[in-house]
Amino acid sequence: MPEDIRPWQAQQSFQKAAGAVKAPLIMEVVPGSGSCQISWTKRPGIIEGYIILLGPDPAQLIDEMQVKDEILPGERQTINLNCLFNGQTYFVAVIAFASGGRSEISSLWKFVPNQSLLHRKAEKVPLNLLPRNSVVQGGGVPAPARQEPVLHTPKPIPTPPPPPPRYGPEVVAICGGCRGEVVLKIERRLYVCRTCQVEYVQRASDDKFIPTRLLTDGICLCCEPRRPLVKAPADEKILKCSKSGEFYTRKADQSGLVKISELEYGICSCCVFRYPLVRNGNNIVCSNQPTRIYIRNSAGQWIFKPPEPESGAGVDIDEIDRALAEGSAVMLPGGVLSTNSPRRPRRRRRS
């Protein structure tokens, strides 16, 4: 029996316990110097105590501390975690336990302990960062760095049910790298070599299996299993699923791809790629260059509206250059142009 339990095992135990043990609601996570204060409120249900899960990333949460349940539903309980390293990122969750098992994780928080004045507020992070389908048995995951050892007092837990199958049964190809068997990897909808773990997708044009690392344009979100994306023939700044024909573009923060059909305002025409247009106050702007405003043309399409000429419009760049060269004007810091001889008549540019 592993000394520490992973969050997904906690979830599996929870399913067995049929909802009797409910996770508390975390109300506040307040980082301090080498410490963090966590408070939560109890939800109705049978609870013996709480377990603080802590780790340097969501995949490495381990039991940090066990706390006896001392509150009524709706009341607030607060603890302090000490001996943390200033400047290190930690993830924390609080679950409840009872003899029936452990609760699910209802929220996950990220915080960085630091000296006073360097504190940042803790942030709630999406639960989908938790590795639900990972299968890690036993120890081997290092505890987060602590200045002093902490006493672990984990509750004995029921053996978790066997993990769901991760691979499809059928061998679809032989790995080009190691001659291992390539099968469908169920949770990511990709094919994978069982031996070397290289991931594959099936090309639509010739049904060949291609390692995903060789793809230059990524993989789709529309097909199961996933298919390679290709540059759209009509517009190489966007991508197209080679199987379904669905069009994609990149998110401006480079966090992934998005289906163009799902964008409310369409895509920009001002960048190297076409990024989603988004609403910014009263304007529709390019999400990559938010100063670029788009307006709707008579056909209802969003088109880039060139910026209004600034005041001082009509200033002739050649004329400024000539004035600077002749010493009749100087460029002040900040790009301000100052004329030395304001009475000198302006010469017109020959054209």
What residues does 181 pair with on adjacent strands? 174
Q: Is residue 241 part of the contact set for Zn ion (CB under 5 A)?
A: yes
- Listed in sequence order, the residues at least 6 apart from 201 whose beta carbon sits closer than 8 Å to its beta carbon are 190, 191, 209, 210, 212, 215, 219, 225, 226, 227, 228
For residue 205, the minimal CB distance to Zn ion (Å) is: 13
For residue 123, the minimal CB distance to Zn ion (Å) is: 28
DSSP-assigned states of every residue in 174-234: E-TTT--EEEEETTTTEEEETTT--EEEE-TTT--EEEGGG-SS-B-SSSSS--BEEEETT
The nearer residue to Zn ion, 94 or 223, going by C-beta atoms, is 223
Among 47, 268, 278, 323, binds Zn ion (CB under 5 A): 268
Name the segment binding Zn ion (CB under 5 A); options: 121-129, 143-151, 165-173, 195-203: 195-203
d(CA 292, CA 161) in angstroms, rounded, equals 54
H helix runs in the chain, sequence order: 7-17, 317-326
Among 83, 118, 196, 331, binds Zn ion (CB under 5 A): 196
Name the segment binding Zn ion (CB under 5 A); options: 70-78, 93-101, 223-231, 311-319: 223-231
The nearer residue to Zn ion, 18 or 272, going by C-beta atoms, is 272
**Beta strands per DSSP E along 19-120:** 25-32, 35-41, 49-55, 62-68, 76-81, 90-98, 101-102, 108-111
Q: Is residue 244 part of the contact set for Zn ion (CB under 5 A)?
A: yes
Binding mask 165-194 for Zn ion (x = CB under 5 A): ----------x-xx-x------------x-
For residue 300, the minimal CB distance to Zn ion (Å) is: 19
CB atoms within 10 A of CB 30: 15
The nearer residue to Zn ion, 12 or 249, going by C-beta atoms, is 249
The nearer residue to Zn ion, 15 or 244, going by C-beta atoms, is 244
Q: Is residue 270 part of the contact set for Zn ion (CB under 5 A)?
A: yes
- Answer for the pair 256, 275: CB distance below 8 angstroms, yes or no: no
What residues does 294 pair with on adjacent strands? 284, 304
For residue 260, the minimal CB distance to Zn ion (Å) is: 13
The closest alpha carbon to 270, from 235, 247, 222, 304, belongs to 304
Among 150, 238, 257, 271, binds Zn ion (CB under 5 A): 271
Question: Strand 277-280 relative to strand 283-286: parallel, antiparallel, unpaired?
Answer: antiparallel
What residues does 285 pair with on adjacent strands? 278, 293
CB atoms within 10 A of CB 76: 13
For residue 233, the minimal CB distance to Zn ion (Å) is: 16
Name the segment binding Zn ion (CB under 5 A); options: 145-153, 212-220, 312-320, 331-339: 212-220
Name the segment binding Zn ion (CB under 5 A); options: 105-113, 158-166, 204-212, 214-222: 214-222
d(CA 195, CA 177) in angstroms, rounded, equals 10
Among 288, 294, 323, 329, binds Zn ion (CB under 5 A): 288
For residue 173, the minimal CB distance to Zn ion (Å) is: 10
Rounded to 5 degrees, φ, ψ at 15 are -60, -35
Binding-site ranges for Zn ion (CB under 5 A)? 175, 177-178, 180, 193, 195-196, 220, 222-223, 227, 241, 243-244, 268, 270-271, 275, 286, 288
